[in-house]
Chain A
Amino acid sequence: NAGVTQTPKFRILKIGQSMTLQCAQDMNHNYMYWYRQDPGMGLKLIYYSVGAGITDKGEVPNGYNVSRSTTEDFPLRLELAAPSQTSVYFCASSYEGGRGSPLHFGNGTRLTVT
């Protein structure tokens, strides 16, 4: 199992550009999540999905969009990049949504917007 795979690892965007961060998991997990990590702030939830075709907003969804057409893939879209979106983005998955189900993380995408 590759687990959770994120691409790209690094990206530099200019203000106003768009891009899609890719996330795929091969563990047949129903739940998938996007987090951003800023220094000293822990992780903040952007969007999550409880299954194919179902997505919902997290704490900090503004400026982002997601889709979940398959169980495996959960891309994150930035439409008009802003410097405030400079961050490290982590995709995660879990088998189910109970309190005992841990998250499995990808290795992250480091995004800089200038």
Chain B
Amino acid sequence: AQSVTQLDSHVSVSEGTPVLLRCNYSSSYSPSLFWYVQHPNKGLQLLLKYTSAATLVKGINGFEAEFKKSETSFHLTKPSAHMSDAAEYFCVVITISSGSARQLTFGSGTQLTVLP
């Protein structure tokens, strides 16, 4: 079985300050990890993905994430928050089991508020 835990359901930052959204996972197989963003009344948009190449992954809109296998983490960061970053963020893990079954698991989401 695999799981994804987003450690904060809500994060609030001031505009111009750093953003840290935390994600931990557990999996029996080598994972791929993704971050998605969801703006109000919109679908989920892919921010970035890790698929076993470089452990530091850069995404759109200045976001990046680092895969740390020893800590089973994939935290999302951005050096300076912008008002337009206010949204809900989802961490997703995908694995392929020994029986070739694809398992995709979503975290429960982190709501990011950016204060002026």
Contact = CB atoms under 8 A, between A and B. Distances in A.
**Secondary structure dominating the interface of A:** loop
A2 interface: no
Given A40-B9, A99-B95, A105 B44 contact: yes
Given A100-B49, A102-B49, A41 B108 contact: yes
Contacts of A107: 41-43
A43 B36 CA distance: 12
Given A99-B95, A99-B102, A102-B34, A42 B43 contact: no
A108 B44 CA distance: 9
A99 B107 contact: no
Interface of A: 4, 40-43, 45, 90, 92, 97-100, 102-108, 110
A42 B75 CA distance: 17
Given A40-B9, A43-B90, A45-B104, A102 B46 contact: yes
Contact of B43 (A45, A100, A102, A108): A108
B96 A99 contact: yes
Contacts of B51: 99-100
Contact of A108 (B34, B41, B90, B108): B41
Interface residues of B, number: 24
A108 B39 CA distance: 12
Interface of B: 9, 30-32, 34, 36, 41-46, 49, 51, 90, 94-96, 102, 104, 106-109
Contacts of B42: 107-108
B15 to A, nearest CB: 26
B96 A42 contact: no
A102 B43 CA distance: 14
Contacts of A104: 46
A98 B67 CA distance: 19
Nearest to B105: A42
Nearest to A4: B43
A1 B38 CA distance: 20
Interface centre among A92, A100, A106, A110, by most chain B C-beta atoms within 10 angstroms, is A100
